[in-house]
A and B are shown apart, each in its own frame.
Chain A
């Protein structure tokens, strides 16, 4: 269990590999360090500390790794430490007890010896008094002392003679009375004063009973001092003067015994510890070896070597583990084999059916063709029949092909042959292939975003099939309106979005379009041909690439299908360079759904292939930026009414005109209902646009604005600004004053921003181009506004020196923040300088540079 805690502790506290060994840097400091790091280096010394920690920890890393990975080591070390602790504890207890026992016996013996001695001394003194009674009486003045001194020496000698080596006797004058000539005496060359602790002497001075103490017996000769027990008592000499008599018992013997015991214990303890360690090692080995074997075999199993099994011996728990493991492996193998068999059978079946169906179909087909060729020679009924026969054979064939393709996916037999391809080539091929159909439908297909290579590792055949499907669908359902194919690359992903402005999709249909044989409108279904499997196959193709195929649509507002592929085949997708909901959706333009707050966007990233409900993307985007949720002061920008394809024709919009002047107001306006802000923005925008005309803004390409052709958009203006950058603002017809701006620009990223649909004056902006990362997170609203604003803002209108756009001043930013937040970024994008409200996300700087 200690092992457990030891094991888990590192994991818990560490998280990161190679945490310092340790405990030297307590958790709190780590916490502080971490925090400091997170808070942008708030802690001053943190880098130094970190360096130090790293330095300390580097050499320990291998050890730590071993510790973390090796349970045997952990158990053995823990066992060693714990048994060492136990042995030490035991040793102390045992030694204490032995010592007490030894000393108790000695003390008792000594006490009785000393008591006897004291009695003898007392007795001798009394005897001396009786013998030399007269002498004693006269002795008071000097002489007597002579005899007392002698007497005392005799006493010491006689007392000590009883125990040569076993004890020594010392007499000391009582109290301070050293003057009477009775100096200290001692037997056995004991140094009397040094051997009797002063503290004991004081005690004896103050009482008449015996007292004892431990001491070190010091000798006058070279004999080494030794521990001893001293027992003393105040006794009277023949003159009845008190003196102190001490018995000193050396404890050498006891000490020897004790150290012997200690030595024995230490040796035994060491052995115990080592043996316990060894035992632990052996025991753990017994458990760990099979576990390691299981781990190794599990790895091999998962690597596909299904026949690997554990060796099982005995019937113990380990053996049961092994048996269970083997049983599991067995079942796995069985299941996998079954599945493989099924898959093989399925494939085989498909293959057989394919062959069996296709051979006669080939004959029929050829026969039909021969008949069809000769139909002019037939009567009208037969001729028409021949035509029908040929046509329906075509359909039958494509249906069969699609079915077989789908069943190949179902059987897992589809293989990806990925190599780096430029999606622009694929798109161009697809578009040129769809031209005849588009011409028949009166549709124009435009390609946007093909200035730069859009390269990804993909299977050209499959991607082409997907895109052909999307484009043909868009043309067929586009009701003669333009179809825009947009390419973009950013981060680790490339995307192609196909936008149409046809009937669109009803809510909920965006996911269902990918269902097999699903048809939007059963009534008109069969007229458009197709097998009903096209999108299902496209979806499978996208999945095979690890990509997404998603649909967005709104009733009457057209739809957009977006294919997102990872740039390299094995890289997981985290986002798409193109927003699923196009910036010119009615919602983004505020044509419907007004007032609805938008939901969270997070799902966009998570969502994989299955298309999301329409609009989810947009919602999500908005959610990500809290600012976007506010009513934006809209920002309708200018509405230069440029038609697609024409240059920067700028038409000032009346609606816009009433806006409050200047961008600066915008900030204030932010709070106000959208309409107002919008107006202001619009106006500014106009100004901006105009300026742009001045040359800054080069005409925008028609391609960029999808949806221009829609009726809702009444005038719109666009300007391409800065090099390569395109900024288009357009206002929706219904909403006066709202305009969308598109800013295409510098680096490839595309930023679509749009302010919430709800707001009356909303503007959509798309900022293509700044760093790629941005597109992901930012809410459309922001940018859109921003874009619009930007133009407006600088309000400046005036001025932008180099085309400037730029200036997005802080106001712009501020405004954005207050009003619609979006501005900021947009501002940044457009104007560049504006620190933009600090939202920062947008690299203002880049934007401005771009310009």
Chain B
């Protein structure tokens, strides 16, 4: 039970030493790691192991990490954390845009990695039943569903969390740092691109016109807030 709560983690990494080390650390923290070293086989392994979280190296033989990320995201909202050696803008943004929820830059400390993974898995705790409205959207927090006019909109858990965080306090403007802390679980302000990219992704799903957002409104120079309901 305990281990189940901690979750299964699929590690997609071609560096066997790193993969093994990751396995040691993850097992030490009570996760159940499984491994795949090849991008081409990643999707099959994903379907087979049904992990609660994917740790994905961006540079892979065969299909690269971005592609794998896209494929997994296409069929599941499971949290994806990218491992990247490049913190440059482009790589990270491309990774995030392809569907990753979070990323961690090598070299990282084991504790940092575990904290990120926990933050992504934290959501599995039972939420209290709660109904929120934002714009013309109705959010059922416990049921993890977002509906517009009865039509449900598919969001990844992260996008859902982001939307809920904004919708719970529609009067408040959230800075990117606050969102990072609340949604991603970062202690210290980190890369705010994370927020930008996910807000874009969220908008593309929930806004009628993503160019003129009404649900998630940008407050220039400050951050974001929920649109009027």
Contact = CB atoms under 8 A, between A and B. Distances in A.
Nearest to B89: A415
Indicate the member of B17, B21, B107 with the most A CB atoms within 10 Å. B107
A420 B221 contact: yes
B156 to A, nearest CB: 25
A361 B106 CA distance: 8
Contacts of B191: 461
B85 A365 contact: no
B189 A355 contact: no
A351 B220 CA distance: 33
30 contacts: A351-B86, A351-B88, A354-B86, A355-B59, A355-B85, A355-B86, A358-B85, A360-B15, A361-B106, A362-B18, A362-B108, A363-B17, A363-B18, A363-B21, A364-B107, A365-B107, A365-B108, A366-B21, A366-B22, A366-B25, A366-B110, A369-B109, A370-B21, A397-B107, A413-B88, A417-B89, A417-B193, A421-B221, A460-B192, A461-B191
A397 B221 CA distance: 33
A311 interface: no
Interface in B59-91: 59, 83, 85-86, 88-89
Interface string B8-27: 00000001011001101100
Nearest to A421: B221
A408 interface: yes
B147 to A, nearest CB: 34
Interface in A319-363: 351, 354-355, 358-363
B82 to A, nearest CB: 13
Interface string B95-128: 0000000000011111100000000000000000
A429 B189 contact: yes
A388 to B, nearest CB: 17
Contacts of B15: 359-360, 363
B129 interface: no
B28 interface: yes
A792 B109 CA distance: 62
Interface in B15-57: 15, 17-18, 21-22, 24-25, 28
Interface in A362-380: 362-367, 369-370
B86 A370 contact: no
A358 B110 CA distance: 14
A364 B24 CA distance: 13
A241 interface: no
A370 B189 contact: no
Indicate the member of A361, A362, A364, A413 with the most B CB atoms within 10 Å. A362
* Interface pairs A-B: 4 shortest CB-CB: A355-B85, A358-B106, A358-B85, A362-B107
A419 interface: yes
B21 A358 contact: no
Nearest to B108: A362
Given A358-B107, A363-B21, A460-B192, 9 more contacts: A351-B88, A355-B106, A358-B106, A359-B15, A362-B83, A363-B15, A363-B18, A420-B220, A429-B189
Contacts of A355: 59, 85-86, 106
A12 B187 CA distance: 65
B108 to A, nearest CB: 6
B71 to A, nearest CB: 22
Interface in A799-818: none
B86 A369 contact: no
A370 B18 contact: no
Given A370-B25, A370-B110, A408 B88 contact: yes
A408 B191 CA distance: 18
A197 B25 CA distance: 133
Contacts, number: 64
A359 B110 contact: no
Q: What band does the interface of chain B fall in when counting residues whose beta carbon is under 8 Å from A?
A: 20 to 34
Interface in A413-452: 413, 415, 417, 419-421, 429
B197 to A, nearest CB: 13
Nearest to B19: A363
A777 B109 CA distance: 51
Indicate the member of B28, B88, B193 with the most A CB atoms within 10 Å. B88
A359 B107 CA distance: 7
Indicate the member of B85, B109, B220 with the most A CB atoms within 10 Å. B85
Interface in A298-321: none
Interface string A393-408: 0000100000000001
A509 B203 CA distance: 52
Contacts of B83: 362
Interface in A208-239: none
Indicate the member of A355, A417, A461 with the most B CB atoms within 10 Å. A355
Contact of A370 (B28, B193, B221): B28
Contacts of A365: 107-109
Nearest to A457: B221
A451 B17 CA distance: 54
Indicate the member of A359, A369, A461 with the most B CB atoms within 10 Å. A359
B85 A369 contact: no
Contact of B24 (A359, A370, A417, A419): A370
A429 B86 CA distance: 26
Nearest to A361: B107
B106 A367 contact: no
B108 A354 contact: no
A397 B83 CA distance: 16
A408 B90 CA distance: 13
B18 A359 contact: yes
Contacts of A397: 107
B39 to A, nearest CB: 15
Nearest to B188: A433
Given A361-B107, A369-B109, A354 B18 contact: no
B29 to A, nearest CB: 11
A847 B24 CA distance: 69
Contacts of B59: 355
A846 B109 CA distance: 57
Contacts of B106: 355, 358-359, 361-362
A394 to B, nearest CB: 9
Contacts of B220: 420
Contacts of B24: 366, 370
Contacts of B88: 351, 408, 413
A97 B18 CA distance: 109
A425 B85 CA distance: 30
Interface in A108-140: none
Nearest to B221: A420
Contacts of B25: 366, 370
A220 to B, nearest CB: 100
Contacts of A366: 18, 21-22, 24-25, 109-110
Contacts of A359: 15, 18, 85, 106
A367 B24 CA distance: 9
Interface string B186-200: 000101110000000
A411 to B, nearest CB: 11
Contacts of B192: 460
Interface in A493-528: none
A351 B58 CA distance: 13
Contacts of A370: 21, 24-25, 28, 110
Interface in A575-598: none
B145 to A, nearest CB: 34
